[in-house]
Amino acid sequence: MALLDVSDIHVRYGDMVALRGLSLKVEEGEVVCIIGPNGAGKSTTLAAIAGGVRPYRGEIRYDGQPILGTPPDKIATMGVSLVPEGRHIFGSLTVAENLIIGAYMRKDKAEVARDRERILALLPRLAERIDFPAGRLSGGEQQMLAVARAVMTRPKLLLVDEPSLGLAPKIVDQIYEILLELRKTEGLTLVINEQSSNRVLKFADRVNVLRQGEIRLAGTAAELADGAAIRQAYFGFEHGAQPAPAMQTPTQASTGGAA
């Protein structure tokens, strides 16, 4: 049984259709990436799984249980945690206080303290800055803090929305190394959104290309390694070839080169 089974979900914001029949299965322990251009529906997909957005059609099962319609706080206690795009850490609070907020729903305080020490041992830069206001951290450190805060809820399934946004390539590599290390030490399953396939093909087990609210391509990283099928699915035409004018939407036009 898949840990996460998203089946034919449809999401609309008013008249705007964001997801049109999206299906996705994630097995326990996998790293599954969703890539796609701006506005493809990546954040909406993670929000639907975490309970922040309610699909009007379809089904989502987590650990065998139907969760569509379940409130986000209940889904979090079931073991699903979201690292949102833009990190959303509390800049005026310290690193330590941000971590406490991650664990606020947990009653097992002794375990929380042990988890905090274990996670900080993996993230020495955060440990060194434990009493700093989070707003004074670098972008990469803030992303590490956002991940650490999410892991403090003790999730089984971690959803990470565009962890590389605004970060230098070397820092992004470090973030991915940390995510993979956490997968091992915390027994996590990961679903990661990205705009580009650069790192995804190196770190993911499976890759899904999302465009205009639909999965256009799915396969293992090994199957998609040469990138050609990804480019075709991402842009809707072979990148480098001239698209027919009718195929080029403003969204596609603004994301040239990202795949």
Ligand X SMILES: Nc1ncnc2c1ncn2[C@@H]1O[C@H](COP(=O)(O)OP(=O)(O)OP(=O)(O)O)[C@@H](O)[C@H]1O
Q: Which residues bind ligand X (CB under 6 A)?
A: 13, 16, 18, 36, 38-44, 85, 195
| Residue 5: closest CA among 48, 56, 53 | 48
State which residue, 42 or 156, has the beta carbon closest to ligand X.
42
Residue 129 vs 216, nearer CB to ligand X: 216
Q: Which residue has tokens 């060194």?
A: 128
CB of 17 to ligand X, least distance (A): 8
Is 119 or 217 the residue whose CB approaches ligand X more closely?
217
Write out the E strands in the chain.
4-13, 16-26, 31-35, 57-62, 65-66, 80-83, 157-161, 189-194, 206-211, 214-220
Smallest distance, ligand X to C-beta of residue 64, A = 26
Sole residue written with tokens 């975490």: 50
**CB of 85: closest distance to ligand X in angstroms?**
6
In angstroms, give the least distance from the CB of 79 to ligand X: 23
User: Kind of pairing, strands 189-194 and 31-35?
Assistant: parallel
CA distance 4 to 25: 6
- In 3D space, the residue among 84, 34, 49 whose CA is nearest the CA of residue 195 turns out to be 34
CA pseudo-torsion sign 66, 47, 172, 131? negative
Question: How far is residue 238's CA from residue 123's CA, in Å, rounded to a whole number?
Answer: 41
In this structure, the strands spanning 214-220 and 65-66 are: unpaired
Closer of 120 and 159 to ligand X (Cβ): 159
Pick between residue 12 and residue 106 the one whose CB is nearest to ligand X. 12
- Report the nearest approach of ligand X to the CB of residue 94 (Å): 29
The nearest distance, CB 16 to ligand X, in angstroms, is: 5
Six-digit token string for 240: 């480098």
Residue 42 or 87 with smaller CB distance to ligand X = 42
